[in-house]
Amino acid sequence: MTDLSAFEITKRWPAKHPDRIQLYSLPTPNGVKVSIMLEETGLPYEWHLVDFDKNDQKTPEFVSLNPNGKIPAILDPNGPNGAPLALFESGAILLYLGEKTGKFLLADPAARWHAVQWVMFQMGGVGPMFGQLGFFNKFAGKDYEDKRPRDRYVAESKRLLEVMDRWLADRDWFLGNEYSVADISMLGWVRNLIGFYEAGEIVGFSAYKNVAAWLERGLARPAVQRGLNIPPRP
């Protein structure tokens, strides 16, 4: 039986199935990237809820796995060369799981790097900009008298959506006919932008027909539907 006791995080979140990938997460746009990927690949895994209301992400046990104190993170008991691997940062985890399974990260080097570049686009642009817009549109930022920060993030979010919409004009997915880690990385963020963040109107989302159609295709996938709710919120 696999022994994960050397990892401090298992003291707070004991593994019932230590032979499976351990997922530490919450269904945020970053968190669902990994749960969707795990559902899509069919890898056996066990999820553990990291409850923000309890500041679980700041506990010594969680920080022992991710020094940045952010979800998601994983612990794979069967990592490279058969040794356990602890990994954080959602983009890195997507690429790792794609390489591990040979799924959604194409073997062809050119296609592979095209997928990677779109994951980097999401990590460096879509996630940070949509997240900041969410803060200024829905949360405490909406009460700021100075609307210049909000407007900056609105403008940049619209620019990113325009990039995506042009690219998807004659493609079903970011890699053309191939659904990949590129799509998985962005589905939760676009869904949140127009849903939870209530920013559809302020960015004029109705104008981005190709993005809307791509989002609908993605959300129709059964694995995506499951992954969007893993781990279940408390």
pTM: 0.96
Longest dimension (CA), the chain: 58
One fold for both 9-103 and 109-224? no
| Residue % of the chain over a pLDDT of 70 | 100
Task: Give residues with Cβ within 8 angstroms of 15, minimum separation 6.
Answer: 4, 22, 46
Q: What is the residue extent of each domain of the chain?
A: 9-103, 109-224
Q: Which CATH number describes the domain made up of 109-224?
A: 1.20.1050.10
Please check the confidence at residue 1 and state whether its pLDDT lies above 60. no
pLDDT tens digits for range 149-195: 999 999 999 999 999 999 999 999 999 999 999 999 999 999 999 99
Q: Which CATH number describes the domain made up of 9-103?
A: 3.40.30.10
